[in-house]
Amino acid sequence: MFVDRHRYNLNVPQVSLADVAVAMMDADYSTHVIDHARHYNADENLAWNVSDDPNSLWMSEESIWKKGVKKNPSLAQYRNDGYGLSQVDHNFFEQVGHYLNLTDPATQSYGFGLNTEHHKYDDTESWDAGYGESAFSVDEFKQLVTDYYNKIEQPDQVKTAQNKVKAAKKALAKAKKADKKKAVKKVRRARKVKR
């Protein structure tokens, strides 16, 4: 879940576990306080209740950036300095900061967090960068998560167990039906004997 930085001739940051932790904590915080937590010195993008990948929403600010720089060419110097832009023209920064964060060439690491707790919004997504050391490529991180999931959840064993439960329920239903037939036959025999 990251922007195609190759399109901008930029490096592809690695996943940092520290950035992931910060993003998770900030997503949790921002679920209850609709604002940035500002607890850590990291670049951060937040999104609430976005049905798809929020990167497209954040990257849509590129057109605002281009129009602003066309109108005021002196802003171009802040292309890689979001903090500097926020000091010079805070309102403009508020309109383009997400885009600048995602395309900052200095970004070496990032993490993503998601809170799905039902609160004011259905979910809160947090992208944080620059807090931790690079650790894994995106593919390596995906493999680690997949391996962990398979170890903990053991999907093959779960499926096997579910099939056994299904078979046992079928056998139980069949046995109950057979017992019911036997009971009915017993009652019929008992009635014949009484007559």
154 has a pLDDT exceeding 60? yes
Which is more confidently placed, 15 or 195?
A: 15
**pLDDT at residue 2 greater than cutoff 70:** no
Q: What is the pLDDT of residue 168?
A: 82
Closest CA to 98 of 50, 150, 157, 29: 50
Average pLDDT (37-57) is 80
For the stretch 51-85, pLDDT in tens is: 778 888 899 999 999 999 999 999 999 999 988 99
Distance CA 184, CA 180 (A): 6
pLDDT of residue 113: 82
